[in-house]
């Protein structure tokens, strides 16, 4: 019994490490939109699928690790870390909050097992993770990124446009990929053990 539990914990950890590495690798693909800081974040897709597969805790830890990696490997060098509090908010907290997609874990697991469509729940809970992340970027944007706003534009309006735009872009991305993968959902989300 204990052995099975340990083996499962190890498997979840290894899956989380693979998802984190994959999400981080995807950050090296072109993902800006040309509209200010509006960005696609492709790694949200595997992380959200992982949240539906393993729940809120593993997904939050993976999101947090992805954020720390992104801060070290890209954020600091890119000049996207403006001060310690902003860095903490936008890389530790924002990325970890994507794990909130895992609040859909129980429903999505049970719907998949009874062969019901999970599309609506997947979009709803996936959007919760994405909106939570970009809400933090919106707050940070209003406080810290105002000097990047076009002349005369209120920093909070600017931040809402940029980060709200990113949230919408990523929700659309997740919907499109989930639709493309819809026939593989069960294999991806229901663990074999
Ligand atoms: C208005 C504005 N511009 C830039 C940022 C910074 N930001 C936004 C989204 C995601 C991330 C994490 C790395 O991709 C960062 C640093 C902002 N919050 N607001």
Domain ranges across the chain = 2-189
CA of 113 to the centre of ligand 1 (A): 38
Least confident of 1-10, 22-31, 54-63: 1-10
Amino acid 188: pLDDT: 97
**137 Cβ inside 6 Å of ligand 1:** yes
Q: What percent of the chain has pLDDT over 70?
A: 98
Q: Ligand 1 in contact with 140 (CB < 6 A)?
A: yes
* pLDDT number for residue 93: 98
* Ligand 1 binding pocket includes 86 (Cβ within 6 Å): no
Mean of the per-residue pLDDT values of the chain: 95
pLDDT at 186 over 70: yes
**How many angstroms is it from 93 CA to the middle of ligand 1?**
13
pTM as predicted? 0.95
Ligand 1 site, residue 53, Cβ cutoff 6 A: no
Residue 75 per-residue DSSP state: I
Quickly list H helices, the chain. 2-26, 44-54, 56-70, 76-78, 84-87, 94-97, 105-113, 119-144, 155-180, 185-189
At residue 110, the pLDDT reads 98
- Whole-angstrom CA distances from 32 to 25, 57, 149, 154 are 15, 29, 17, 23
pLDDT bin (cut points 50, 70, 90) of residue 3 is low
> From atom 16 of ligand 1, which residue's Cα is the shortest distance away?
80
Counting Cβ atoms within 10 Å, is residue 123 exposed (0-12), middle (13-18) or buried (19+)? middle
Higher per-residue pLDDT: 107 or 192: 107
C-beta 142 within 6 A of ligand 1: no
Residues 6+ apart with CB under 8 A from 181: 188
- C-alpha of residue 145 to centroid of ligand 1, in Å: 8
The per-residue pLDDT for 180 is: 97
pLDDT 10s digits, 128-175: 999 999 999 999 999 999 999 999 999 999 999 999 999 999 999 999
Residue with tokens 């801060």: 71
Which range, of 30-34, 49-53, 67-71, 187-191, averages the lowest pLDDT? 30-34
Residue 33 predicted with pLDDT over 90:
no
Q: How high is the pLDDT of residue 100?
A: 98
Residue 26 confidence (pLDDT) above 60: yes
Residue 37 CB–ligand 1 contact under 6 Å: yes
Residue 42 in contact with ligand 1 by CB distance below 6 A: no
pLDDT at 2: 57
145 lines ligand 1 (CB under 6 A): yes
Please name which of 173, 178, 176 lies closest in space to residue 189, comparing C-alpha atoms. Answer: 178
Which of these, 41, 23, 24, 80, lies nearest to 169 by C-alpha position?
41
**Burial tier of 68 (Cβ tally within 10 Å: 0-12, 13-18, 19+):** middle
Q: What is the C-alpha separation between 5 and 54, in angstroms, rounded?
A: 14
Q: What is the pLDDT of residue 103?
A: 98
Question: The domain 2-189: what is its CATH number?
Answer: 1.10.1760.20
Contact 163, 134 (CB under 8 A): yes
């Amino acid at each position: 019994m204990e052995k099975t539990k340990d083996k499962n914990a190890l498997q979840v950890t290894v899956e989380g490490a693979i998802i984190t590495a994959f999400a981080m690798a995807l950050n090296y693909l072109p993902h800006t939109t040309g509209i200010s800081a509006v960005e696609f974040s492709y790694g949200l897709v595997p992380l959200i699928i992982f949240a539906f597969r393993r729940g809120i805790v593993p997904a939050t830890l993976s999101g947090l690790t992805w954020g720390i990696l992104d801060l070290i490997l890209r954020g600091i060098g890119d000049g996207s870390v403006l001060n310690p509090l902003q860095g903490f908010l936008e890389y530790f907290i924002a990325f970890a909050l994507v794990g909130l997609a895992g609040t859909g874990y129980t429903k999505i697991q049970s719907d998949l097992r009874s062969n019901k469509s999970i599309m609506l729940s997947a979009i709803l809970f996936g959007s919760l993770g994405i909106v939570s992340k970009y809400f933090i970027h919106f707050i940070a944007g209003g406080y810290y990124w105002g000097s990047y706003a076009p002349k005369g534009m209120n920093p909070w309006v600017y931040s809402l446009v940029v980060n709200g735009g990113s949230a919408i872009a990523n929700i659309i991305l997740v919907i499109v990929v989930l639709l493309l993968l819809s026939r593989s959902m069960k294999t991806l989300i229901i663990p074999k053990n």
